[in-house]
Amino acid sequence: MSDSKPLNTPISYRSSLSRHDGDTLPKPFLYRSIIGALQYLVLTQLELAFGFNRACQFMQSPTTTHWSAVKIILRYLHHIPHHGLFIRPTSSLDISAFSNSNWDGCLDDHRSTTDYYIFLGDNLISWNSKKQQVVTRYSPELIWLQSLLRELYIFPLQPP
């Protein structure tokens, strides 16, 4: 990996992995152990959430194509050691939320992957990426967050 070419993104949102792609890996243990190690990075490297989610879907029987997708994530990580999740002091207590869905994104079960990100001021405080049966909105998360802020006597000037 030390001689790998740099990549700007860990995986394309247009990538279409299927459980039927490629040949079965002779040593699936390596695939599973690398996915396990990546699990901790996803907590601070948000851009990995989608690719990690896709790679986790093939843990039971990974193939050479899935391994290639994981190597793309590793090549991306090798060239961005300075990235991370930074919390900065801010005077803004406004809540902003963003979500994204790729309807019918999985070739195997035709379910979508939905991501959401919630910011308090400029700081990211909550995020998620998961497979859905239907496209959903994350208003329950926002309602809970507003309630939590009220308990802490923090009152944003604008609604989320």
Query: What is the pLDDT at residue 107?
Result: 65
Contact predicate 122/92, CB 8 Å: yes
Query: What is the pLDDT at residue 84?
Result: 62
Spatial CA neighbour of 138 closest among 104, 114, 109: 114
When mean pLDDT is compared across 17-21, 23-27, 86-90, 104-108, the lowest value belongs to 104-108
Spatial CA neighbour of 104 closest among 115, 119, 114, 94: 114
Residue 138: CB atoms within 10 A of its CB come to 19
> Which amino acid type is present at position 58?
F
Structure tokens that stand for 142 in this block: 């926002």
At 80-118, the pLDDT tens digits run 766 666 678 888 888 888 877 766 556 666 677 777 888
C-alpha 97/C-alpha 90 separation (Å) is 17
Residue 139 confidence class, pLDDT cut points 50, 70, 90: low
> Which amino acid type is present at position 54?
R
Choose between 118 and 133: higher pLDDT.
118
C-alpha 61/C-alpha 27 separation (Å) is 10
Backbone phi, psi, residue 122, to 5°: -95, 0
Sheet containing strand 123-132, strands side by side = 95-102, 112-120, 123-132
**How large is the average pLDDT for residues 144-156?**
84
Rounded to the nearest integer, the mean pLDDT of the chain is 77
Residue 12 confidence class, pLDDT cut points 50, 70, 90: low
| Helix-helix angle 28-42:64-78, to 10 degrees | 40
**How large is the average pLDDT for residues 50-62?**
82
Query: What is the pLDDT at residue 116?
Result: 83
Query: What is the pLDDT at residue 10?
Result: 65
Interior angle at CA 154, CA 153 and CA 160, nearest 5: 135
Judged against a pLDDT cut of 80, whether residue 150 lies above it is answered with yes
Q: State how far Cα 110 lies from the chain centre.
A: 19
